[in-house]
Chains A and B, each alone.
Chain A
């Protein structure tokens, strides 16, 4: 145990020294390639005005050890994915016990809508005690016909049964589906035997509805000061529908709320923009847009609510665009980093090389170290095994600069660097061909995963 820890410490120390030492080693200077559409970068490193982010507040204890690892990864890597498309076929609203006793409107556009009632209460009563059993609710159709005691419903689940499902719905949550025989349209939901100001969340989900509210951000990642662009549409297969209203706001992780105004575009979608101000108390989590839409389509009322998350980081550090190929086996890149605040910074990327005449992914490199504010370098090392069966030209793609302590993506570049075979050879990249990479387990382990057998393995 002692020996192992000592050896580990030695390794980490040596890595740290190597990272520092390579700053002075023979190095061929290069420049990162010009950025292209979809890349993320900061024009300058900016320290948060509230002071350096407290990692403790984020439940992170950033290590001060320099750590580096690379591994073989030859599978195809796609261009950065499109930003997530949030799709909603549901809505939610709040109602008091008095409201529910009088009856609240449920607008549905397809049969078998799911209705969830979650007790919120007033903070004084246990929510379990406020739960409403589906059997004590009445559904009234458009003609005023009442369906009591579970009639008009299917798949009733009381709060105690839902709680036992190990699904983390809040206590006091019950649910049911409208019976398919009721069809779609406008209904009243009435809760019997309750009154007062206790609040309830009413969530109506329509899995079978053709109408979907979509929301998408214009980019995968944002930095403080950049312009968030949001695009929303009410869609059914093959068509977009105009929305009567679309109201929304952006919520930061620290809880600051920024109203956004959606405007109709030419293609039937609506869009909004917001200059992002991420200079706030460090708080874990992502930013979100929340929006509610209403529309009338073919005489039907369609209401939808949607939420969408996206990351926004303070650009506390940036790549200087200077990079040097350092002497040593494999490909060792000393990447210039400018930090406006101390932190644990990470550079990661995918090395491509030429295999059978085709530029192909070879492996992933990842290096991180603690840096004080100022100029520094992080050595991104790709082990010699990764290039053993490839030749130049090489490329570093999907290059990231990450802020591990504040969980920020600070730089992402799809094509970052091109190196020739001569570049790598001159740097001694071919000098050592013995193991420095984390080889794929399939190659070095005696175990072979069994393929799926028929039943009764």
Chain B
């Protein structure tokens, strides 16, 4: 082997060694952490406004060090791949991992947050921080992920399209909602995203939790968990959806990517369904299930 060839060979091996370091947990004992990734919307205080502290404080009790949690605040009104979405998620998760020597990360996502995380898992070479983030993840728990999109996104956008068509574009648009239309997600799932049926597996397990119904009876106290008015609105949205849905996402979509973990009624207290808003709140012991999973 001449000098140039030897150096080249060394470089390849070094690079692979680097990949190995990026790709596997550190030999030294690291820490376990948990990250909460919100769904569609621009959050500045997701702990209060999206998850509630009751939920977060309950789940993080499962951590050996309860301080090692992170609540993401990003602009998930943007397309999942954009700098304000996946880029922002990496901006917040990467230093959390590095600064706290996290080698065992559990990621809790809700709704479209699952798509943003799946973007990172499926596109590890998009950003040089992604391999480190991916290698640190133990698994993701995706509550009600819109993996195959939702007919409601189609319905919402249909109105906006119509406004555009008649020239009165009044600014009610969200790229994230646009992206969650069914044919849009089908397109991304067929190329840019992994983990759906017939596609290669994601580099880390992505467990989905499926909400199967909405309970909005004013005479049932269960309707009030997570906010009664939220559930009331979700009752009619089921008209756009399959008989199995959480009021925003069809069960087929929520279970459309990754590994099915459980349907709400199989594990919640009283076999209560988790509506789309309840699957991010301290309802029917979901928080305990997630706590025990850490």
Residues of A whose CB lies within 8 Å of any CB of B are 1, 4-5, 7-8, 10-12, 14-15, 17-19, 21-22, 24-26, 58-61, 63, 65, 67-71, 73-81, 84, 86, 90, 92, 94, 114, 116, 118, 120-123, 127, 155, 157, 161-171, 173, 175-177, 199, 201, 203, 205, 207, 220-221, 255, 284-286, 290, 305, 307-311, 326-330, 332, 346, 348, 350, 361, 364, 366-368, 381, 383, 398, 400, 402, 404, 407, 409, 412, 432, 434-442, 444-445, 447, 449-450, 452-457
Contact = CB atoms under 8 A, between A and B. Distances in A.
Nearest to A91: B158
B15 A81 contact: no
Given A63-B126, A63-B128, A383-B19, A25 B139 contact: no
B23 A435 contact: yes
30 contacts: A11-B19, A12-B18, A14-B18, A15-B19, A60-B82, A61-B83, A68-B19, A73-B200, A73-B201, A73-B203, A75-B201, A78-B199, A86-B182, A121-B168, A155-B239, A162-B236, A165-B229, A173-B159, A175-B239, A307-B183, A346-B126, A348-B125, A368-B126, A409-B191, A437-B19, A437-B23, A441-B137, A447-B104, A452-B267, A457-B292
B269 A71 contact: no
Nearest to A349: B200
Contact of A24 (B4, B81, B154, B288): B4
A361 B123 CA distance: 19
Interface string B219-255: 0000000010110111111011000000110000000
B40 to A, nearest CB: 7
Contacts of A435: 20, 23-24
A305 B293 CA distance: 45
Given A164-B229, A383-B19, A120 B163 contact: yes
Which 8 residue pairs are nearest across A and B when measured between Cβ atoms?
A165-B233, A78-B198, A11-B18, A18-B15, A368-B125, A84-B186, A59-B82, A452-B262
Given A11-B19, A175-B236, A63 B127 contact: yes
Interface in B1-29: 4-5, 7-9, 11-25
Contacts of B128: 8, 12, 63, 65, 67
B200 A205 contact: no
Interface residues of B, number: 114
A155 B288 CA distance: 34
Given A199-B168, A308-B183, A400-B191, 17 more contacts: A8-B22, A10-B18, A14-B11, A92-B159, A120-B163, A161-B232, A165-B247, A167-B152, A167-B233, A170-B163, A329-B13, A383-B20, A436-B16, A444-B24, A445-B138, A452-B266, A457-B289
A70 B20 CA distance: 10
B183 A94 contact: no
B143 to A, nearest CB: 14
B92 interface: no
Q: Which of B9, B79, B183, B268 has most chain A Cβ within 10 Å?
A: B183
Given A4-B98, A330-B16, A438-B131, A456 B269 contact: yes
B81 A407 contact: yes
B13 to A, nearest CB: 7
Nearest to B191: A409
B184 interface: yes
Interface of B: 4-5, 7-9, 11-25, 40, 78-79, 81-84, 87, 98-99, 104, 123-132, 134-135, 137-139, 152, 154-156, 158-164, 166, 168, 170, 172, 174-175, 177-178, 181-184, 186-187, 190-192, 194, 197-201, 203-205, 207, 227, 229-230, 232-237, 239-240, 247-248, 259, 261-262, 265-271, 276-277, 285, 288-289, 292-293
Contacts of B270: 455
Nearest to B163: A120
A171 B172 contact: yes
B222 to A, nearest CB: 13
Given A120-B170, A220-B187, A284 B175 contact: yes
Contact of A18 (B14, B138, B155, B161): B14
Contacts of B247: 165
Contacts of A73: 200-201, 203
A75 B196 CA distance: 11
Nearest to A155: B236
A450 B14 contact: no
Contacts of A175: 236, 239
A203 B5 contact: no
A309 B154 CA distance: 11
B17 A436 contact: yes
A1 B230 CA distance: 43
Contacts of B137: 441
B83 A444 contact: no
